[in-house]
Amino acid sequence: MTLADALAAVRNPLSFIAGRWTPEPRTVQRSALSALVMSVVIVVTGGAVRLTGSGLGCPTWPKCTATSLAPTGAMNFHSAIEFGNRMLTYVLCAAIGWAIVAARSEKPYRRSLTRLGWAQFWLVMSNAVLGGIVVLVGLNPYTVAAHFLLASALIAVATVMWQRTREGDGAPRPLVGKPVQQMVWFLVAASVLLIAVGTVVTGSGPHAGDSSEVERMPLDWETISKLHAVLAWIVVTLTFALWFVLKAVDAPKSPLHRTRELFLVLLSQGVIGYVQYFTNLPEALVGLHMLGSGLVWIWVLRVLLAMRERPEAEVQLPGPAQSGSAVGVGV
């Protein structure tokens, strides 16, 4: 490597790599999928921290103790669980970094993909800071709820990026009529409300995240749980109605398949939810329910994205009258 190459790598490492590497489309897709998988893993392991009472295993932030970055020998397994979850943030960042590098190096360059990758990075950084605030305020339930909602936003962006790696940059073309599109948006809105109320169930429920006395939301847990169940049934009903409508209008296979998959995911999540409710919230089932929450959200977004297609953008070569002019590809 020459001195000029070294300076170029320091000034703009992404551009330097992109100039020397062109990943296969499958590589870009896998990098985006790895970021999505890790965004779900970090949510599940964060739930494990709470369910094992390890939320204050590291009583301060950004260090684990006032004098040590990592747990000390005098600390217990709660510290190891909390610290391990913090370390997984670096794994998540590595997965997102790979997605950013792969998207930046793809030819032709797609700015929209790179922006989605950077959006994930900044969401992770924001949530890391919020996670530190959660610890510093003693697991205040409102900050815990915000922490989960920001993680759900990360999953949403990762899902969109994964989808965008498997389609072109042409203008989106709807596959269904406007009434069906509106129905899907009602489904998305109901799902957002379902997730938000789920954080209130958590914030008012018995799993506070630590063995010590932790503030809970001053709401009746049973009532909030029933509201959560009602919202779940609304989402299930909307999904079944959407599937019926798609069949009636002879919609393309992609929207039908995604809707059917969402319906099956919702049924599985509903079974887990009712079993955990009637068995006094065993930790294993609550953790499985958190995983299901992430999967439901991913599939709701996949249904939304399946209602349109984005073909490859057409590149118009300059004609005789346009000779010498540059023509770009639409985003």
Helical packing angle, 141-164 and 178-204, nearest 10°: 150
Which class for 325: exposed (0-12), middle (13-18), buried (19 or more C-beta within 10 A)? exposed
Q: How far apart are CA 111 and CA 40, in angstroms?
A: 25
pLDDT in tens, 281-311: 888 898 899 999 999 999 999 999 999 998 8
The pLDDT of residue 324 is: 40
Q: Quick check: 10 pLDDT over 70? A: no
pLDDT grade for 54, boundaries at 50, 70 and 90: confident
The pLDDT of residue 292 is: 93
Q: Quick check: 9 pLDDT over 70? A: no
pLDDT grade for 3, boundaries at 50, 70 and 90: low
pLDDT grade for 198, boundaries at 50, 70 and 90: very high
Q: How far apart are CA 258 and CA 195, in angstroms?
A: 20
The pLDDT of residue 331 is: 33
pLDDT in tens, 272-281: 989 988 888 8
Q: What single letter denotes the amino acid at residue 184?
A: V
Residue 228 contacts residue 281 (beta carbons within 8 Å): no
Q: 23 preceded by cis ω (within 30°)? A: no
Q: How far apart are CA 124 and CA 119, in angstroms?
A: 9
Distance between first and last Cα of the chain: 34
pLDDT grade for 75, boundaries at 50, 70 and 90: low
DSSP letter at 210? B
Two structure tokens written together for 48: 């494990």
User: Average model confidence (pLDDT) for the chain?
Assistant: 88
Q: Quick check: 158 pLDDT over 80? A: yes
pLDDT in tens, 200-255: 998 988 877 877 778 889 999 889 999 999 999 999 999 999 999 999 999 999 99
Considering the segment(s) 173-311 as one domain, its CATH architecture is Up-down Bundle (1.20)
Q: Quick check: 74 pLDDT over 70? A: no
pLDDT in tens, 80-109: 888 889 999 999 999 999 999 999 999 999
pLDDT grade for 329, boundaries at 50, 70 and 90: very low
- Phi then psi dihedrals of residue 119, to 5 deg: -60, -40
The pLDDT of residue 242 is: 96
Give the domain ranges of the chain.
13-169, 173-311
Between 117 and 6, the more confident residue is 117
Give the Cβ contact number of residue 180 at 10 Å: 19
Lowest mean pLDDT among 61-75, 162-176, 194-208: 61-75
Q: Quick check: 312 pLDDT over 60? A: yes
pLDDT grade for 323, boundaries at 50, 70 and 90: very low
Q: Is the pTM of this model over 0.85?
A: yes
Residues 6+ apart with CB under 8 A from 237: none
